[in-house]
Amino acid sequence: MSEESRLSIRDWAKDDRPREKLMALGSGSLSDAELIAILIRSGSTKESALDLAKRIMGQVGNDLHRLGGKSVIELTEFKGMGEAKAIAIVAALELGRRRRTTEVQERPSVTTSSSAYELVRAKISDLPHEEFWLLLLDRGNRLLESRAVSKGGLHGTVADPKMIFKAALDRRASSIVLCHNHPSGQLRPSQEDIALTRKLVDGARLLDIAIHDHLIVASGGYYSFADNGML
C-alpha cells in the first residue's frame, strides 16, 4: 500500500471511530475535532482523519469561529485537505451559522381539547373521507409533531394500534391526542370509536404513554372524549 493510500473511518480501531461514538452516545459526546473528522471521512497512512482534524483545530487555536471564517481555498492549504473535504467543512459550519440566526419558534402547547382542535381543524374538519391523526406531545404537553396514520372512506378508517404506538415511540412522545373526523357531521362517537379508544388507552398505559384525549372533528365543531369523561 502506498503512502497516499487512504484509511477510511471504518478502518480505524473501534475506540477511535467517531461515527460509532456518535451513534452510541449522541453528537454532544464528540469533541470538535471528532465532529470534523466525520466530515473529513478519510486520512492517509501517515495521518488519520482525526489526527488531521486535530491538527487543523490546533492551527486555528481550537476556535470554531476562526475555522468558520476560512474559505475553501484556505482550508485546502492544510496538507491532506482536498477540495471535497474543505467544501464539506465550509457547508457544515454555514449550516451552524444559519441555525443560530434562525428564529426559534415556540412549539404550541396542547393542554385543552380546544387547543388540540385548533391544531387539527384545518387538516380534517372538511374532508370528504375519514382520516386518523395523532398529536404527539412531549412531557410539557408541547407539540412534537402532528401526523396522519390512516386514511379511509366516507364511513370509516382503520387505525392500527401498532402504527400509532410506533409513531409515538419514534418521536419519544410522552403523550398523545387522538383525532379523527366524521365527514357525515355526526359528532357522537360510534361504538367502534369507543372500543378503539379503550384499546389504545390500555395499550399506551403499558408503554408509559398517556392518551390525553380523542377528538372527533366535523365541520360544525368537535367532540372530546376527555371533556365527556370517556377516557
- Read off the pLDDT of residues 146-180 as tens digits, 9 standing for 90 and up: 999 998 765 556 789 999 999 999 999 999 999 99
205 Cβ contact partners less than 8 Å away, ≥ 6 residues apart: none
d(CA 55, CA 51): 6
CATH 3.40.50.300 correct for 113-224: no
Amino acid at 127: L
7-29 residue pLDDT tens = 554 554 444 578 888 888 888 88
Q: Report yes or no on whether pTM surpasses 0.85.
A: no
6 band by pLDDT with thresholds 50, 70 and 90: low
Cβ atoms of 44 and 79 within 8 Å: the answer is no
Count CB atoms within 10 A of the CB of residue 130: 21
CA dihedral 216, 218, 223, 226 (to 10 degrees): 40
User: What are the contacts of 67-76 at 24+ separation with CB within 8 A?
Assistant: 67/93, 68/93, 68/94, 68/96, 68/97
- What pLDDT digit, counting tens, does each position of 67-117 carry? 988 999 999 999 988 999 999 999 999 998 888 776 556 789 999 999 999
Q: What pLDDT shows up at residue 10?
A: 55
204 closest CA partner among 170, 156, 169, 159: 169
Read off the pLDDT of each residue in 54-60 and give the average, rounded to a whole number.
93
Q: Which of 183 and 5 is assigned the larger pLDDT?
A: 183
- Give yes or no for residue 4 having a pLDDT over 60: no
pLDDT digits (tens, 9 = 90+) for 176-194: 999 999 999 999 999 999 9
Report pLDDT for 154: 57
Nearest to 168 by CA among 133, 217, 214: 133
Where is pLDDT greater, at 32 or 101? Answer: 32
Residue spans of the domains in the chain: they are: 9-101, 113-224
Residue 122, pLDDT above cutoff 70: yes
Predicted confidence at residue 2, as pLDDT, reads 42
Binned at pLDDT 50, 70 and 90, residue 5 comes out as: very low
Ranges 6-10, 101-105, 216-220, 221-225, most confident: 221-225
For residue 176, give the H/E element and its range. Answer: strand 175-181
Query: Average pLDDT, stretch 127-148?
Result: 95
Predicted local distance difference test score (pLDDT) of residue 104: 58
Predicted pLDDT at 91: 94
